[in-house]
Structure 1
Amino acid sequence: MSTDHSPAPETSVPTCYRHPGRETYVRCTRCDRFICPECMRDAAVGHQCVECVAEGNRGVRRAVPRTVLGARGPASAVPVVTYTLIGACVAAYLAELASWRVVWEFMMLGRGVLPDGAVGGVAEGEWYRLFTTMFLHQRGGTFGITHILFNMWALWAVGPALEQVLGRWRFLALYVLSGLGGSVLLYLVGAPEESAVGASGAIFGLFGAFFVIGRRFGGPVGPIVFLLVINLIITFSVPNISWQGHVGGLVVGAALAAAYAYAPAARRNLVHIAAPLLTLALLATLVLVRTADLSPAT
């Protein structure tokens, strides 16, 4: 009679690698370790352990939250552009207090004789005045410091909300182009020697944008309408206020905001890029036409 000396079959029951006291026959489809029901995570095929799921999630790019107009970032994002613009205006005002030359050299002026006797202005090639004027403010006269105080209050009041919904680059384009729109309208219809300073054109552009976007998405627009009406009344009733700057900024800001707000979702990014560029091209063309008109005949 023969004797069988082969080893006894393996009878041990597999257990969860994280909970050795729990029997299981299910393996992780990624690492092939045994996992109990508590450690199982549903996968496209089979189950995975918690460690493999965590490792996989680290390699997944999370979606960045967006606003209704496609702006990136959380709702609590700091309005960096708004605060930077306020800081730039305050710094320019302090420079004005230090020297009147800051006003002479950077205010909006079509063509005229400066206090130092030189002839300057946009028509003389100083195109930068169209932009730099929106950072300057009247430091004396009828309005004095109230000029910058009101504009900065308005920027602080409506800027963060617009920057949040538009995103930083759209908001910056809106502000700069609105201010430019005010300068261009003054250049077109004002007397060449007429000068102006202030962020009011850009601020009116923000007012117009706030109204358009509010109407588009069902937000409250009553307060901004009231603010607009009051400021327009002041614009046309108080002397020494550039109505061209206010109206030009309002028209450009409202038009650009309409392009932002009513762009088809499928072409939103294209429209949001094209609209500021076309606006800039149109304003630049108007400046060239007016400059040619003011140029002396040869």
Structure 2
Amino acid sequence: MFVRTESFREFIRFYPLITLILIIHLLVHLATTLPLLPSREIFTLLAGVNLYIIEGEFWRILTPIFVHSGFAHLLFNSFSLVLFGPALERILGKAKFLLVYLLTGIAANVATLLLEPPTYTHVGSSGAIFGLFGFYLAISMFRKDLLSKENSQIIITIAVIGVIMTFFQSNINITAHIFGLIAGFFTGRVLLLKQ
């Protein structure tokens, strides 16, 4: 379930939404790093800056989900999405998967706005990635038929390790990770009741 055996072409065909998100990640990364573009200005325009959100720049609640602080940050989050996103895109379908991804990422950014100081700046899709983990945890608890016991154990282990690592790494938006996970869990609880 979490091992990718598809060819590149098959991955694009089977998981078009994840492919689109990855393309957006890459294009935004190029726009914020290429020396030929006003990359610093683009980064500043898209980053989550609490003070600017308070002043009415509400797009900054959404855009940080697609902005990363460097290639390693982009690679780690994109790799996580490639590993853990496809099963959920298949289980939920494109529309619900997009809803979960964006809703949990936005919830993580709103929590960051409410709990971090006005000068706090944040970027990255980690809140949405942790939202996927939270959704998987909801599946493990409330819809055991959708995941094997082994895959449930893998998800629980990775979620626990992810939360622990959140507190031991520098430059991590702890608030986004924790509230993304919580938002994913509660979103899963609601959506799984309707299936």
TM-score by length of 1: 0.56
Q: How far is the alpha carbon of 1:237 from its aligned partner?
A: 1.6
Alpha-carbon offset, residue 104 of structure 1: 0.8
Partners of 1:214 and 1:155 in 2: CA distance: 19
- Distance in 2 of aligned mates of 1:243 and 1:206: 16
For the Cα contact (< 8 Å) 1:133–1:199, is it kept in 2? yes
Aligned to 2:45: 105
Identity, % of aligned positions: 32
- RMSD after superposition: 1.3
2:55 is aligned to: 124
Matched, 1:217 2:144: yes
Match of 1:156 among 82, 86, 100: 82
* Equivalent of residue 102 in structure 2, options 176, 184, 191: 176
Does the Cα contact within 8 Å between 1:158 and 1:210 map onto a contact in 2?
no
Deviation at 1:212, TM superposition (A): 1.5
- Bigger fraction of residues in helix: 2
- State TM-score, norm by structure 2: 0.85
Amino acid in structure 2 at the alignment position of 1:208: G
C-alpha separation between the residues in 1 aligned to 2:140 and 2:17? 21
Equivalent residue, structure 2, for 1:254: 185
Q: How many residues align?
A: 174
State the 1:217 CA deviation.
Answer: 2.5
1:40-189 map, 5 Å: 78-98=14-34, 99-111=39-51, 121-139=52-70, 145-189=71-115
Q: Which has the larger radius of gyration?
A: 1
Aligned twin of 2:132? 206
Higher relative contact order (CA 8 A, sep 6+): 2
Q: Which residue of 1 aligns with 2:116?
A: 190
For 1:234-253, what aligned pairs fall within 5 Å after superposition? 234-253=165-184
Which residue matches 2:4?
none
Deviation (angstroms), 1:262? 2.2
For residue 156 of structure 2, what is the amino acid of its counterpart? V
> Which of residues 212, 221, 231 is equivalent to 2:162?
231
For residues 96 and 195 of structure 1, the distance between their equivalents in structure 2, rounded to whole angstroms, comes to 15
